[in-house]
């Protein structure tokens, strides 16, 4: 250049290394600018003093056309430079290389070169693309050199012409950009396919910051800086096996299989923390799985990390989860370098044969003992009121993630209120917020509204109900501490049968049990379960019990004799199918390890084999006069206005009705009193009682009402 001198590399600093990547980039910019100038000098159309009237290809003059015909074709810059120019380029390169050897810190650019194992040509291409992204001056230079105002990024053809080695072949180096390898993965795939050389956003981010920020479906865990969300309370044996697997150098393929939330990712995070290594977690849920897997492998390569892939399963047309496809797993391994450590985190075992050494480990659902340890660790800073961790572990068969989230929410609510304790009901509500199920499609949720004080029944039946509740509260003590789990391997759930006439309080007591245990209650809709089509009833029952295990709730089968009826002699296909349904239901009841409450008005219709599988049978007697009077009094709320003329003993003695009928009488009397603007009195209750009896086609003679007969008028 005659008027201006190009900025050169810092020869005066040859004796020291680079202190920052930006200082390195200044020298690389100077080296690149010099190379671009020599390329311009040897590839210009009319020489250095061209007035640029022909710039950007808007006009092609005769001189320009003839110059291009005479210009040497398919030659790189190195073959066209003279000795002085080559010496100048070599000196600049020598200064940069010498200073890099004296640099103690590995900058992101040099880490990228090393981890991707790039040669001199590939490093130069990356430097060119990075410079074009950092300094907009290169946009005009690239457009000019490529004779296209729209082409502001360097093309692969231009990069080959600028950086082609002296003995290199143009076609050979151009073909490098058509490969799928660590070099081409550094560039944006779509733009590279169009011939443009632009860095992939992940590569650009890493070069600029040296890190990768979390992105949708992509997260880097650095074991040297990050820590897992919680200590490793369970799964120590699995952790030991993972340590042994990664103790040997080289690539590994580890398949961790387990249900959602069982701690697969958690185990890998702890493994990385123990080894102070990095791992990129990639979520492949959705479409374009392979492209996102390719991005994850690029992120792993840039950061020197392992790669863990999750959510690779798909739902079929029936909504059933299918294992990850063998082709996807094979393609991921084909893209990954042999030394990369790969983790496949799947819910179902991977049905694939790998060319590499692969080890499959199962992450089982936590046992009750392990759930206790998880609850205890998560609630260590809180004081529990009215509940124990043993009871929580027995009720909620949660995964470690569900336990952690429920306890974290409970702790957050306690801090919000400035408390150091958490009540039982509040903790149970936090737990139920973590229960994911579809039971609402097959049943109706019933919010428990009754307690022990609302129940009017003989003390013997009450004791039996309390005894049934203790089956859940003390389950850990009996099965685990006393060793009954070794003797009772199945049928550990609680099943209660309520038998009695209509209106005797069976549904109310089911709510009392749910309230006492702080559990949600779902009433099974028999009409949605029983089907006339063969096999559909069993399918619906399977869905009910499967979802019930996930919901950790009380299942309530009202009028259960409709589906738990006695098996009959087989005379035709209908009898055989009905017997199969009953037999299948018996199996489900016995295998279900939750709380199941059933009620029937006709206990004689229940199959004998079913009775053997019931834990408790509670018979609801028809209430006597004393019980009926107590029901009248307890049904009326404390805020309801009452007249002084009510004769409770007469009502209870005269009308022999069940609790359900008494509830209807009291409610009807309340509306009559509200309509007349008076407190509830004897007249309202009598009229309501007579109406209830007429509904059941029972006639009341006025004389039988004695002194209260006139109140009917």
pLDDT in tens, 631-661: 888 888 888 898 888 888 888 888 888 888 8
Looking at residue 568, what is its pLDDT?
47
Q: What is the pLDDT of residues 188-211, one digit of tens each?
A: 999 999 999 999 999 999 999 999
Q: What is the pLDDT of residues 583-639, one digit of tens each?
A: 777 777 777 888 888 888 877 777 676 777 788 889 998 888 898 889 888 888 888
Cβ atoms of 384 and 422 closer than 8 Å: yes
Most confident of 37-46, 312-321, 575-584, 592-601: 592-601
Looking at residue 701, what is its pLDDT?
65
Burial of 529 (C-beta count, 10 Å sphere; 0-12/13-18/19+): buried
Residue 501 has pLDDT above 60, yes or no: yes
Residue 567 has pLDDT above 50, yes or no: no
Q: How confident is the model at residue 565 (pLDDT cuts 50, 70, 90)?
A: low
Q: How confident is the model at residue 575 (pLDDT cuts 50, 70, 90)?
A: very low
Residue 16 makes CB contacts below 8 A (sequence gap 6+) with: 99, 102
8-state DSSP, 479: I
Architecture of domain 372-434: Orthogonal Bundle (1.10)
- How many C-alpha atoms does 507 have within 13 Å on its Cβ side? 16
Pairing status of strand 321-322 against strand 314-315: antiparallel
* Span of 188-192, 383-387, 637-641, 706-710 with lowest mean pLDDT: 706-710
Domain boundaries, the chain: 11-208, 218-362, 372-434, 444-620, 625-712
- Rounded CA separation 638/636 (Å): 7
Record the pTM.
0.77
- Widest CA span of the chain, in angstroms? 133
Domain spanning 444-620: CATH 3.40.50.300: yes
Domain spanning 625-712: CATH 1.10.3720.10: no
Residue 301 has pLDDT above 90, yes or no: yes
Residue 56 has pLDDT above 50, yes or no: no
Residue 49 has pLDDT above 60, yes or no: no
Superfamily of domain 218-362: P-loop containing nucleotide triphosphate hydrolases (3.40.50.300)
Determine the average pLDDT of the residues in 5-18. 80
């Amino acid at each position: 250049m005659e008027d201006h001198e190009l900025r050169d590399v810092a020869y005066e600093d040859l004796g020291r290394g680079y202190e920052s990547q930006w200082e390195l980039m200044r020298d690389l910019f100077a080296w690149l600018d010099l190379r671009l100038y020599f390329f311009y000098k040897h590839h210009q159309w009319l020489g250095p003093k061209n007035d640029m009237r022909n710039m950007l290809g808007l006009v092609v003059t005769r001189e320009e056309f003839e110059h291009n015909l005479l210009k040497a074709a398919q030659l790189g810059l190195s073959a066209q430079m003279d000795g002085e120019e080559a010496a100048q380029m070599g000196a600049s390169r020598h200064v940069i290389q010498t200073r890099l050897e004296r640099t103690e810190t590995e900058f992101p650019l040099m880490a990228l070169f090393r981890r991707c194992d790039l040669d001199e040509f590939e490093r130069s291409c990356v430097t060119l693309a990075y410079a074009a992204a950092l300094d907009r001056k290169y946009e005009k230079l690239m457009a000019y050199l490529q004779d296209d105002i729209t082409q502001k990024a360097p093309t692969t053809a231009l990069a080959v012409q600028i950086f082609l080695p002296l003995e290199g072949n143009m076609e050979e180096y151009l073909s490098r950009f058509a490969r799928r390898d660590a070099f081409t993965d550094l560039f944006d795939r779509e733009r590279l396919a169009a011939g443009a050389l632009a860095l992939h956003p992940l590569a650009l981010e890493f070069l600029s910051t040296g890190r990768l920020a979390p992105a949708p479906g992509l997260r880097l865990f650095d074991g040297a800086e990050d820590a897992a969300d919680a200590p490793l309370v369970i799964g120590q044996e699995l952790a030991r096996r993972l340590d042994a697997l990664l103790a040997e150098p080289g690539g590994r393929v580890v398949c961790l299989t387990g249900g959602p939330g069982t701690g697969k990712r958690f185990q890998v995070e702890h493994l990385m923390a123990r080894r102070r290594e990095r791992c990129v977690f990639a979520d492949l849920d959705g479409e374009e799985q392979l492209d996102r897997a390719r991005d994850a492998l690029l992120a792993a390569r840039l950061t020197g990390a392992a790669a863990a892939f999750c959510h690779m399963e798909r739902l079929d047309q029936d909504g059933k989860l299918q294992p990850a496809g063998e082709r996807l797993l094979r393609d991921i391994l084909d893209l990954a370098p042999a030394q990369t450590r790969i983790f496949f985190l799947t819910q179902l075992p991977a049905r694939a044969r790998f060319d590499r050494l692969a080890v499959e480990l199962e992450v089982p659902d936590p046992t009750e003992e392990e759930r206790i340890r998880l609850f205890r660790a998560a609630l260590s800073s809180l004081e529990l009121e009215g509940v124990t961790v043993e009871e929580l572990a027995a009720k909620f068969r949660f995964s470690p993630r569900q336990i952690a989230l429920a306890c974290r929410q409970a702790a957050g609510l306690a801090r919000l209120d400035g408390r150091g304790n958490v009540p039982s009901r509040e903790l149970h509500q936090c737990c139920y917020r973590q229960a994911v199920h579809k039971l609402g499609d097959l049943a109706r949720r019933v919010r428990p509204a009754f307690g022990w004080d609302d129940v009017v029944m003989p003390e013997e039946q009450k004791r039996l109900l309390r005894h049934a509740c203790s089956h859940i509260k003390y389950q850990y003590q009996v099965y685990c501490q006393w060793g009954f789990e070794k003797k009772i391997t199945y049928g550990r759930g609680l099943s209660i049968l309520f038998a009695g006439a209509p209106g005797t309080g069976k549904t109310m007591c089911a709510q009392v049990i749910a309230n006492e245990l702080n559990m949600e209650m779902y009433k099974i809709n028999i009409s949605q379960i029983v089907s006339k089509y063969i096999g559909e009833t069993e399918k619906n029952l399977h869905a009910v019990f499967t979802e019930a295990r996930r919901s950790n709730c009380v299942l309530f089968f009202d009028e259960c004799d409709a589906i738990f009826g006695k098996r009959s002699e087989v005379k035709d296909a209908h009898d055989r199918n009905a017997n199969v349904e009953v037999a299948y239901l018996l199996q489900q009841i016995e295998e279900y390890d939750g709380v199941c409450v059933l009620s029937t008005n006709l206990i004689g219709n229940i199959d004998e084999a079913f009775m053997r599988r019931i834990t408790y049978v509670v018979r609801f007697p028809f209430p006597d006069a004393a019980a009926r009077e107590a029901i009248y009094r307890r049904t009326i709320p404390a805020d309801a206005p009452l007249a002084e003329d009510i004769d409770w003993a007469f009502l209870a003695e005269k009308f022999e009705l069940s609790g359900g009928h008494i509830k209807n009488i009291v409610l009807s009397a309340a509306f009559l009193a509200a309509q007349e603007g008076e407190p509830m009195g004897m007249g309202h209750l009598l009229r309501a009682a007579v109406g209830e009896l007429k509904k059941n086609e029972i006639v009341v003679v006025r004389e039988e009402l004695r002194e209260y007969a006139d109140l009917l008028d």
